[in-house]
Amino acid sequence: MFDIGLQELIIIFVVALLVIGPEKLPEFSRTLGKWVNEIKKGVQTAKTSIEAEYKEQLAVPENIMKSDAAEEKAGVNNSETEAQEGKV
């Protein structure tokens, strides 16, 4: 995903160790992990919601097309019936 190798991870760890300090680094790591987890959950929720909305929007034209086809068929049947009654 980010294409980070082992060397880059070691450099990031050393910089974090120097900036944050060895006493606060475990607490910071836990907090950062929780934030990342919450962001992932939020993204997944948004993705699920968008997919559901998309599927709902796709389902509507099918229903409209089916009802239009049924109305059209009923109209054709009515026209045929009227034409037959006029011929008799």
- Per-residue pLDDT 10s for the chain (88 aa) are 567 788 998 898 899 889 988 899 899 889 999 999 999 999 999 999 999 988 888 776 665 656 666 666 666 555 555 556 665 4
For 1, other C-beta atoms within 10 Å of its C-beta total 3
Task: Answer for the pair 16, 25: CB distance below 8 angstroms, yes or no.
Answer: yes
User: Phi/psi of residue 4, each to 5°?
Assistant: -100, 125
What CA–CA distance (Å, rounded) separates 63 from 70? Answer: 10
Task: Answer for the pair 30, 22: CB distance below 8 angstroms, yes or no.
Answer: no
Residue 22: per-residue pLDDT: 86
